[in-house]
Structure 1
């Protein structure tokens, strides 16, 4: 390097010492950028026989689940099948809401139906958003109620860092999870429903005359991989939960926030190759709690907010028509891409070095009534959809409160028009809360990285005669 720099300095007015200092500075800048990008991802590898964590990176940081959400939709579907409430052949009717979901989708028209098994297969392969919503409406009466059931089940399984707002994982600022929670759910699916777990190994299925291929490219590529689920939105990055079984050892691994489908798959392959040989050949007892969900679901219906925050994919009709002209972009922005690798540029292969990590046992504590009350007495913490694949606790500002969600949303829209520069990097949302038996809605803007930033925005809004105060999420 010194020789190369000497050649440059002979043609430059700068002394060699100055150039060396600049080169070192650039090295630190590149390292800082790489570190910043790495911090946005999260991963965990769990021995599915013993519950020991073999690798962990940001495993408890909040992340958007994207279509990993459908793992819980399928968990509740399998539970209903196991209890005899529905069968593989039960018809799943698609409402107008389900049929209108963003791609990827099966494309069933309003009023049409498919068998439960077809809906399951379309979810594990195509990641069909419409099928997930239709199943949720079938099991919960409506998707809002089903989301409450999903979150209640998450608490029951010990997934204390997860909140669900819909059945499919399409963007919603109030829906979040952690890599650790997704690993817990992946283990629970195999433990609790071994009779249905084989669906996750399906690489394609025939729908009418159409052969639908799956998104999970590790099936058939890495020996022992038998599922489970991929996920992608722009806010989440590329997510993947994988289950591996080589006959003697079992792993469940999670990668969230990948920069491309290829780099995510390569990272997962590296984790599997590194940590599968370190997994135990003994053990095999249940690791995740399984109990009757009726009491928890009933309590959740009372305690969880009755309305979800508006989702980023809700658009006026005119905007929706404009999006139709650029269907590929709409697909990428709103949900799983038909071909994930075309959504982002392919990233270089990521080599994952082996690391010594403190062993932790994945536990699933029994959920008491007091715990559920504590979990939902306060509004759901905000998640910032602007910060790709990174959802740290932060600050928001509140500008209004109203007994009607539509009024709270209208105030958000009005505030943005009044102060577009102040709120250029903020994201508006509403939060439901109960007061004296009535439901009210707070109008807030999230995405502020510090208390000072939030108060600075409030000061600017107050100058425009807009009431405002900062709150920590």
Structure 2
């Protein structure tokens, strides 16, 4: 027979158990805060903004963060090109009209061609330099020519045109996309600009898809790696500053159907091209009849621009890019995308040079434009000497050989001997302000007389272990 505890003993036991539970459990009104991860303060990659639009219908095939205000970087140059082509179509300018390199334009930060003040080139040549090399100096010069010498007036023209096209989340402050207060756009708005170019100027599609240009012996490749690697790719424009990340406006045509895609905020050219290929491929497979939303129906953001410089230009961001490049050993391979194939042929190269502009226009420019800037009429030299050298990554550590200078490739660390013997006087600073910086000076001919061509800060991800300080935002590509 079991003996039951007395009622008093049971009561005392219950009180003790309850008390122990109260001591052990935290009060519900004051929960224990979650412990932060050790790297909570480390910069993190932000989501990319993207959109794909059908050119004929304006229907939005996909979009993500497309209405967020972002920094356009050198995709800004698409508006400069649009206004230039509009002036050509109206007859106000010709493709052979002169573009004069003013002192103000020549002083722009890289990426640039590096021409001396007073240099003159044809408008069509200037457009290819701007779109392929992402030349900030040439973009500035084009803007001044189109606005009768005033960069401020050209910026006003850009913003007026943006409003006319419906780009209500866009404001420009210069012709090239170099960073500054008050310059922003969105994936949606850049898609509007891309559509306008494809619709209004179909005859000039090849300008936006030029694979490479040759200035003398310097070959400058287009940073858009969809060209020749994605079926139907036609071009448009790359862009990069710290605050924006790596941007790309692209277009492609298959079976008579043209799409425009925008990617903003990628951490490097590899994820940028990979994402662009993915959304374009999905766009071509989309059922257009089942989609109702058009580009002009997307809302206006009016928010503050998203600034991702804390990650993009941090040591972590550079390390992540370096790791991705290590995983993709061949620069011309598919970037991990099933929709990109190797480029099994040389890039199609278009020669460019100073000179060749319309004779009558040159005389007029010499009187009304060049004098206005205090620049003497340049000594005419239609075909500059071709002794211009540049380096490929393969040339590193080698003091001879003609190479290529490419927007969109990774930087190379050049030895002191290479800098002294091949490139001449270069700045030794590296810069992530565009898409290929460890070569930061103007490339000069070995004869000491050739116009300096092709200074570059294109893409600046660092290689693992590279001891280079975080650079400033001096360039846009």
Counterpart among 275, 279, 296 of residue 267 in structure 1: 275
Paired position in structure 2 for 1:343: 461
Paired position in structure 2 for 1:72: 79
Q: Secondary structure at the match of 1:242?
A: strand
Counterpart among 132, 135, 155 of residue 142 in structure 2: 135
Q: Secondary structure at the match of 1:328?
A: coil
Counterpart among 159, 165, 173 of residue 167 in structure 2: 159
* Cα gap change, 1:260 to 1:144, in 2 (>3 Å): same
Q: Secondary structure at the match of 1:216?
A: coil
Counterpart among 428, 433, 437 of residue 333 in structure 1: 433
Deviation at 1:270, TM superposition (A): 1.4
Asked if 1:211 is matched to 2:201, the reply is no
* Cα gap change, 1:78 to 1:256, in 2 (>3 Å): same
Q: Provide structure 1 residue ranges, at least 5 long, that are not aligned to the other structure.
A: 1-24, 289-323, 347-384, 390-473
Deviations along 1:153-178, one digit per CA (max 9) or x if unpaired, are 00000001100000000111211001
Paired position in structure 1 for 2:335: none
Q: Secondary structure at the match of 1:168?
A: coil
2-side partners of 1:75 and 1:233: how far apart? 22
Counterpart among 284, 289, 302 of residue 276 in structure 1: 284
> Would you identify which runs of 4 or more consecutive aligned residues in structure 1 move more than 3 Å?
28-36, 279-283, 324-327, 334-342
Paired position in structure 2 for 1:91: 98
Counterpart among 110, 119, 128 of residue 121 in structure 1: 128
Select between 262-271 and 131-140 the one with higher mean Cα deviation.
Answer: 262-271
Q: TM-score, normalised by structure 2?
A: 0.55
1-side partners of 2:94 and 2:205: how far apart? 15
Counterpart among 108, 112, 121 of residue 115 in structure 2: 108
* Cα gap change, 1:29 to 1:276, in 2 (>3 Å): farther
* Cα gap change, 1:91 to 1:50, in 2 (>3 Å): same
2-side partners of 1:279 and 1:138: how far apart? 45
Q: Secondary structure at the match of 1:145?
A: helix
Once the two structures are superposed, the pairs formed by residues 273-312 of structure 1 within 5 Å of their partners are 273-278=281-286, 280=288
Once the two structures are superposed, the pairs formed by residues 49-448 of structure 1 within 5 Å of their partners are 49-140=56-147, 141-278=149-286, 280=288, 325-329=427-431, 332-333=432-433, 337=437, 338=456, 340-343=458-461
Q: Provide structure 2 residue ranges, at least 5 long, that are not aligned to the other structure.
A: 1-33, 297-425, 438-455, 465-471
Aligned length: 285
2-side partners of 1:33 and 1:221: how far apart? 38
2-side partners of 1:137 and 1:149: how far apart? 11
Q: Secondary structure at the match of 1:343?
A: coil
RMSD, aligned CA: 3.2
In 2, are the aligned partners of 1:44 and 1:56 still within 8 Å (CA)? yes
In 2, are the aligned partners of 1:251 and 1:279 still within 8 Å (CA)? no
* Cα gap change, 1:287 to 1:263, in 2 (>3 Å): closer
Deviation at 1:89, TM superposition (A): 1.2
Select between 199-208 and 273-282 the one with higher mean Cα deviation.
Answer: 273-282
Q: TM-score, normalised by structure 1?
A: 0.55
1-side partners of 2:118 and 2:458: how far apart? 30
In 2, are the aligned partners of 1:233 and 1:336 still within 8 Å (CA)? no
Paired position in structure 1 for 2:322: none
Point out which structure has higher relative CO (alpha carbons under 8 A, 6+ apart): 2
1-side partners of 2:213 and 2:81: how far apart? 17
Q: Secondary structure at the match of 2:273?
A: helix
1-side partners of 2:57 and 2:87: how far apart? 28
* Cα gap change, 1:34 to 1:250, in 2 (>3 Å): farther
Deviation at 1:274, TM superposition (A): 2.0
Paired position in structure 2 for 1:354: none
